[in-house]
Amino acid sequence: MEVAKKILITGGAGFIGSHVVRLFVNKYPQYQIFNLDKLTYAGNLENLMDIEGQSNYHFIRADIADEQAVKQVFAEVQPDAVIHLAAESHVDRSIKDPTAFIYTNIIGTVNLLNAAKDLWKAEHRPDDLDKHLFYHISTDEVYGSLDNGGFFLETTPYDPQSPYSASKASSDHFVRAWHNTYKLPVVISNCSNNYGPYQFPEKLIPLCIHNITHEKPLPIYGKGENIRDWLYVVDHARAIDVIYHQGKTGETYNIGGFNEWKNIDIVRLLCQIMDKKLNRAAGESEKLITFVKDRAGHDLRYAIDANKVMHELGWQPSLQFEEGLEKTIDWYLSNEVWLNNVTSGNYQKYYEEQYG
């Protein structure tokens, strides 16, 4: 693929998106990076304070569910490529109120696909479309739950179980349909659970770090026996870089680090590490563990077979889980201001100061 000059990254103010934007802005000064984000509760421009002001970074506040707004962004930016991460991402919220997931994850994705199709077809002959790329970031949750062993392969049939995963599965299907029907050059990756700096403290790991710090209860759904496959967020961003540049159009890549953990074991490990860091007696934080009512329709186990991205594209995770957890805990302990801002809604003030 030719060098893409203007890349539109959606959801760049969120957890994973901010790591992807940072990596692309710093590593590829020849690219102009446009971060399109609505700044929901999960989007915070403080995540990108270190690159704010760099000449190849631009921020646009827009809602991908708003068709006109998306068309306008495409008319103004004329992106050569899209890396699409914007989404409603939390399963528990999707159970309480699925509507936003349908608007953002499904309609928002279709708005972006249409805008890319129209712009790129208008600019080029249809057979010249491969100069462009629509890269859709998805999740392993589209494959459902591995209750009887095995791993998720790229060929595993879709079987989404939660409103969140149903909305992501739907968006994946639309991306493939636009490739099949309109020859839009697309690539999809499905990643396992991410953890690391800048994750909103509603997800298991940052929630527990926050609650251990403040000696609050650690809510474990059910018996804590559900299994997730964890990857450090910077390693996900590195995989996205590799797939963006070397992935084959029309292909799907599963991303994961072969790192399965039961929830209860992760929470115990966090307690042990944090007892040492906070100078607490061994076993002190574990007393905060509280078993609560299980999540409705709680998927039992996720586990990614990442052999394709590893062997075909040469990507490997760089960190062991214990190392990644240490880094993550240290980051949260030294970024209490960020944590207070995102939990109190104060981060909106930062946006107003920067962008009026």
- List the catalytic residues: 140-141, 164
Tokens 């962004």 -> residue = 73
Of 4, 188, 191, 342, which lies in the binding site for ligand NAD, with binding defined by CB under 6 A?
A: 191
Backbone angles phi, psi at 157, to 5 degrees: -60, 145
Q: DSSP of 72-87, one letter per residue? A: HHHHHH--SEEEE---
Q: Is 328 in the site for ligand TYD (CB under 6 A)?
A: no
- Per-residue binding letters, 303-332, with ligand NAD (x by CB under 6 A): ------------------------------
DSSP state of 278: T
CA distance 221 to 191: 23
| Residue nearer to ligand TYD on the CB measure, 4 or 271 | 271
Of 11, 185, 196, 247, which lies in the binding site for ligand NAD, with binding defined by CB under 6 A?
A: 11
CA distance 204 to 270: 11
- Per-residue binding letters, 200-219, with ligand TYD (x by CB under 6 A): ---xx--x-----------x
Q: Is 228 in the site for ligand TYD (CB under 6 A)?
A: yes
Task: Give least dist CB 262 to ligand TYD, A.
Answer: 9
Type of residue at 125: R
Q: Is 117 in the site for ligand NAD (CB under 6 A)?
A: no
| Residue nearer to ligand NAD on the CB measure, 17 or 144 | 17
DSSP state of 104: I
Q: Which residue is nearest to ligand NAD (CB)?
A: 14
Total residues interacting with ligand TYD, rule: CB under 6 A: 12
| Residue nearer to ligand NAD on the CB measure, 62 or 300 | 62
Tokens 């569910």 -> residue = 65
- Taking 3-state DSSP, the helix, strand and coil percentages for the chain, each rounded to the nearest 5, stand at 50, 15, 35
- Per-residue binding letters, 166-185, with ligand NAD (x by CB under 6 A): --x-----------------
| Residue nearer to ligand NAD on the CB measure, 137 or 310 | 137
| Residue nearer to ligand NAD on the CB measure, 129 or 191 | 191
CA distance 91 to 169: 14
DSSP state of 137: E
CA distance 264 to 252: 32
Q: Is 239 in the site for ligand TYD (CB under 6 A)?
A: no
Q: How far is CA 184 from CA 82, 91, 137, 296, in A?
A: 12, 30, 16, 37
Residue 91 binding partner per list ligand TYD, ligand NAD, none, with a CB distance cut-off of 5 to 8 Å that depends on partner kind: ligand TYD
Task: Give least dist CB 237 to ligand NAD, A.
Answer: 10
Task: Give least dist CB 306 to ligand NAD, A.
Answer: 13
Q: Name the nearest CA neighbour of 152 among 121, 190, 102.
A: 190
